[in-house]
Structure 1
Amino acid sequence: MNPVIIRILSYLGGLAIVSFGVSLTIIAGLGVGAWDALNVGLANLTQFTVGNWVIIIGVLLIFINGLLSKSRPQFLSIITVVLIGYFIDFWLLVVFRNVLFGEFFLQLSILCLGTVIIAFGAAIYLQAKFAVIPIDGLMLVVRDRFQVNFLVAKTATELLALIFAFIVGGPIGIGTVIVTFLIGPLIQWFYPIIEKRIHWQEVENQNEG
């Protein structure tokens, strides 16, 4: 398979998988990651959907990142947030419409499954090395602007989102803690595995060529 096609499939497929995982954490009903809690809280207060707010917040972050880094906004990231926004609405409004879970252990299982799927999808989409999600872009900007490490930058941006999520009544709970602390290590575990698989595929294509 052509390397360009592999990148495109990694990008689109990874984002679809990430949005599926996010949707699972939302319908689990035990709380979600800070940024998703903000989007859900805003959706509950307005007539816009969760996906709409993913796009709106994402576009705002693109300009904020540009201002903080004193550089041109990464407009290509708009493609990323639009895709994720529409994917999330598809899962929530079409596939999982009116789906609720009442049993705690079932909710916890769905939440953990969603967290693993988010990390798996992120590890795939990052292989494309295309436009990053603005949330990740904010972390990188904070790291570079304030000369702090990844952990401090990630913690600071997550706390910022958590504060706003709390203000708008977003779903904050045990799920928020699980997603926040597991996503990073899971992505770190998945990434090299997927990278080796994709690299092997590219090498095979070159040999065939």
Structure 2
Amino acid sequence: MALQIRATLGLAPWDVLNQGVVRHVSLSYGTVTMIIGAAVLLLWIPLRQRPGLGTISNVFVIGLSVDAGLALVPDGRGLPLRLLLLAAGVVLNAVAGGLYIGARFGPGPRDGLMTGFSRRTGRSIRLVRTVIEVTVLAVGWLLGGQVGIGTVVYAFGIGPLVQVFLRLLTVPDRSRDRVVAVSPAAAPERAAAG
């Protein structure tokens, strides 16, 4: 997130929203990110999403990390460096999404919204993520957030990239491979039912 902000080529849609909100309040990017993350958790209720350790951690870790990243990473100088910051920001965000969703400790608020809508609608991650990103972008832009080529790259690239990294980085669910012991008394009932 900080890399893309420092690239100054346009923000990711959620960051356009963050920046739009920051323009109207006297809070840091990180603080606004945490507040919006907590608010997004409320949207999980109708989707019947259940938060995990990764969900709650995400709200705080991302907010604190973006403020730290912005303090450490200087603005990009020259177009080649800015393009590198943009590309690194988008790809690293997708890798991070694949890692923490695939670890099965619960997706972050925004990614849980994506996976929840995908599960409830039967639509692909790439489609659902793109629709969410474009919607958030429009609201952020109306609030005064910065839009540019980096916004377009992120909005249309993050969904497919997250899907790729989810396939590559997901921890296998071994619970489906377990052999379930059946008591001898229940065996005839299971055989008749099966």
Bucket of the pairwise TM-score, normalised by the shorter protein: 0.7 to 0.9
Superposed counterparts of 1:36-115, under 5 Å: 36-66=15-45, 68-69=46-47, 71=48, 74=51, 76=53, 77-93=55-71, 95-96=72-73, 99-115=74-90
* In 2, Cα distance between equivalents of 1:191 and 1:145: 19
Q: How many residues are treated as equivalent by the alignment?
A: 171
The 8 Å contact of residues 94 and 158 in structure 2, kept in 1 or not, is answered as: yes
Cα distance, 1:42 vs structure 2: 1.6
Residue type at the aligned position of 1:55? M
In structure 2, C-alpha distance between the alignment counterparts of 1:147 and 1:193, rounded to whole Å: 21
Range with bigger deviation, 29-38 or 114-123? 114-123
CA distance in 1, matches of 2:162, 2:129: 14
Separation in structure 2 between the aligned mates of residue 167 and residue 123 of structure 1, nearest angstrom: 30
Q: Name the CA distance, whole Å, in 2 between partners of 1:145 and 1:125.
A: 21
2: CA distance, partners of 1:128 / 1:81? 17
Instruction: Tell me by how many angstroms 1:184 deviates.
Output: 3.0
> 2:91 and 2:80 mapped to 1: Cα distance?
16
CA contact (8 A) 1:62 1:73 kept: no
Indicate the SS of the match to 2:23.
Answer: helix
Amino acid at match of 1:59: A
Instruction: Give 3-state SS (helix, strand or coil) of 1:32's partner.
Output: coil
CA contact (8 A) 2:33 2:62 kept: yes
Alpha-carbon deviation of 1:141? 3.1
How much does 1:194 deviate? 4.1
Which of the two has higher C-alpha Rg? 2
3-state SS in 2 of match to 1:156: helix
The one-letter amino acid of 2:134's match is L
Say whether 1:121 aligns with 2:96: yes
Check the 8 A contact 2:134/2:155 in 1, yes or no: no
Partner of 1:165: 140
Conserved 8 A contact 2:98-2:166: yes
Alignment TM-score, normalising by the size of structure 1? 0.71
CA RMSD of aligned residues (A): 2.4
- In 2, Cα distance between equivalents of 1:30 and 1:194: 29
8 Å Cα contact 1:80/1:131 also seen in 2:
no
Kept in 2, the 8 Å contact 1:25–1:110? The answer is: yes
Deviation at 1:115, TM superposition (A): 1.4
TM-score, normalized by length of structure 2? 0.76
- Counterpart secondary structure, 1:48: coil
Which is helix-richer, 1 or 2? Answer: 1
| Contact 1:29 1:101 (8 Å CA) reproduced | yes
Structure 2 residue ranges without an equivalent (≥5): 173-194
Q: Partners in 2 of 1:51 and 1:85 — Cα distance?
A: 4
